[in-house]
Amino acid sequence: MKKNRKNLALLLLAASLLAGCAGQSNSQSSQSSQAKSEKKAESKASSKSAAKSAASSAVSSTKSSSSQASSKSAAKSAASSAVSSTKSSSSQASSKSAASSSQRADVNRMGTLTSQLRVKLPGMLLPAADGLGQGSSNLNIRYTSSSSQNVVYYSVGNSPLALNDSRIASEKPYAVLTEKKNVADASSLINYQEPKTGLPAVKIASNVTGTEEGAAGSTYLQFNQGQWSFVVRASNVQGQKPLPTAQKLLALYQQYGLPDTAAKSSVQVDVGESLGSLNTVITWAKGSSVYQLKAHSTETAFKMLKSLN
């Protein structure tokens, strides 16, 4: 009986030992499985992290490449703009230089011809400006001289010619300056008009009023300023009106003035300007001489007289 109890105890002990070993084995297996699972999770996380890192690196690289490309494009654009600006500035400078050179050449031509005239016609008043808006580079001058008068003809030709070249005589002058010497009665040549009374008044400017009268198919509008009388003639047949021309005439006088004169002097203008018409006639006295400038353009005449010396 005792022997059987002992054997039973041994069997129970063995079973207990076997159960412990099995639990430990299962625990180890579970731990091993958990470890493997954790390793797999870590591996996946690591893979995801690496993928994210790679993606981030790729994005960063793309951005960097894009930024570099943008910088290069901006640099090229700036360089192109700078080159374009430089070319434009160079072109503008070249144009200004050419225009300046042309203007200097025009001024030098008038100056050169006038200097030659002063030698040929000593003591005569001459304009330093040609009064032209264009064509100065082809300015030509010829003159005639006698004991009683000097006459200077200003014209624009197809090419610049020497002073008094015979070919200039075939060109239509745009202005003619005459000096009559040793004149005993200047008034007979000047044709100054005293202010008129008893005629219809015409307002030319806020402070200038003239008078108007008709005769022989024309209308004459007259006003006076200082020592000068101004008369504008308009053709009724051609439907011309004298007022616009009179207003322009007054404006030019106020802008440029006229030569100093102790005697009463005159300005006469026929409405309408055309090459060779010489419709503006300005006459005044200086010393014992009487000067007269005829011009196809009233503005040209005033510009020339402004530079007279």
pLDDT at 273: 83
Specify the pLDDT at position 92: 53
C-alpha–C-alpha distance, residues 278 and 258, integer Å: 18
Element (H, E) at 63: helix 2-120
Q: Dump pLDDT digits (tens) for 125-150.
A: 999 999 998 999 999 999 999 999 99
The model carries a pTM of: 0.67
Is 62's pLDDT higher than 50? Answer: no
Average pLDDT over residues 174-202: 95
Q: Is 191 exposed, middle or buried (0-12, 13-18, 19+ CB in 10 A)?
A: middle
pLDDT tops 70 at residue 120: yes
DSSP states of 182-235: S-S-THHHH---PPP-SS-EEEEETTEEEEEEEETTEEEEEEEETTEEEEEEEE
- Which range among 14-18, 29-33, 168-172, 248-252 shows the weakest confidence by mean pLDDT? 29-33
Give 36 or 230, the one with higher predicted confidence: 230
Q: Quick check: 161 pLDDT over 50?
A: yes
Amino acid letter at 167? R
Give me the pLDDT at residue 8, please: 52
**What pLDDT digit, counting tens, does each position of 258-294 carry?**
999 879 999 999 998 877 899 999 999 999 999 999 9
What pLDDT is recorded for position 73? Answer: 46
For residue 220, pLDDT over 90 is answered with: yes
Work out the angle between the directed axes of helices 243-256 and 298-306 (0-180°, nearest 10).
10
pLDDT in tens, 1-56: 444 455 454 554 444 443 443 334 333 433 333 433 444 434 343 444 433 443 34
Mean predicted confidence (pLDDT) in 212-241: 96
Average pLDDT, the chain: 77
Tell me the percentage of the chain whose pLDDT exceeds 70.
Answer: 65
Per-residue pLDDT, averaged over 204-209, amounts to 96
Residue 255 has pLDDT above 60, yes or no: yes
Mean pLDDT value of segment 189-210: 96
Rounded to whole angstroms, the Cα distance separating 163 from 47 reads 100
Give Rg (Cα) of the chain. 53
Q: Which residue in 302, 294, 225, 296 sits closest to 259, CA to CA?
A: 302
When pLDDT is cut at 50, 70 and 90, the band that residue 236 belongs to is very high
